[in-house]
């Protein structure tokens, strides 16, 4: 009974040490950099950096909504296609019900694609 209690305490100690490491490891480099890093601020260092090209124009410029529509459509179809891979792995085990479910799933994706196409969301003007 006592040996069991000691075993539990050792397990809790391991969890405590892991939690402590999870807190200390990310914070320690930040704290060390704050105190050790050289500080020589200048105008050039405070400017935004974009691939070595001096930035020009207003940084708060607006983008067309079309870019966001492309991004959302890409994410939706990309994530949905990921559902096809596990289904393909277990295709023989799921039977006809799994096949019908996947046909419905792909049909909904196709309808969504046709809808986006007809609405002009895929036109790049």
**What is the extent of the structural domain holding 24?**
1-40
Q: Please, where are the H alpha helices in 37-90?
A: 43-46, 65-82, 84-89
Cα 118 to Cα 9: distance, rounded to the nearest angstrom: 64
The percentage of the chain sitting over the pLDDT mark of 70, rounded to a whole number, equals 90
Tell whether 52 is covered by a domain: no
Report yes or no on 49 lying in a domain.
Answer: no
Q: Token pair 């969890």 is at which residue?
A: 15
Q: Is the pLDDT of residue 102 over 80?
A: yes
Of the listed ranges 7-11, 16-20, 38-42, the least confidently predicted one is 7-11
Average pLDDT for the chain: 83
pTM for the structure as a whole: 0.46
Residue 31 pLDDT class (50, 70, 90 cuts):
very high
Say if residue 7's pLDDT is above 80: no
Shared domain for 32 and 68, answered yes or no, is: no
Same domain? 34 vs 68: no
């Amino acid at each position: 009974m006592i040996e069991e209690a000691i075993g539990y305490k050792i397990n809790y100690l391991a969890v405590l040490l892991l939690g402590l490491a999870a807190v200390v490891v990310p914070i320690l480099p930040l704290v060390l950099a704050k105190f050790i890093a050289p500080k020589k601020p200048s105008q050039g260092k405070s400017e935004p950096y974009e691939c070595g090209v001096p930035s020009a124009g207003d940084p708060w410029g607006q983008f067309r909504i079309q870019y966001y529509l492309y991004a959302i459509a890409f994410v939706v179809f990309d994530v949905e296609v990921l559902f096809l891979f596990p289904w393909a792995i277990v295709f023989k085990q799921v039977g006809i019900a799994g096949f019908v479910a996947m046909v419905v799933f792909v049909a909904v994706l196709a309808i969504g694609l046709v809808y986006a196409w007809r609405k002009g969301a895929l036109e790049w003007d």
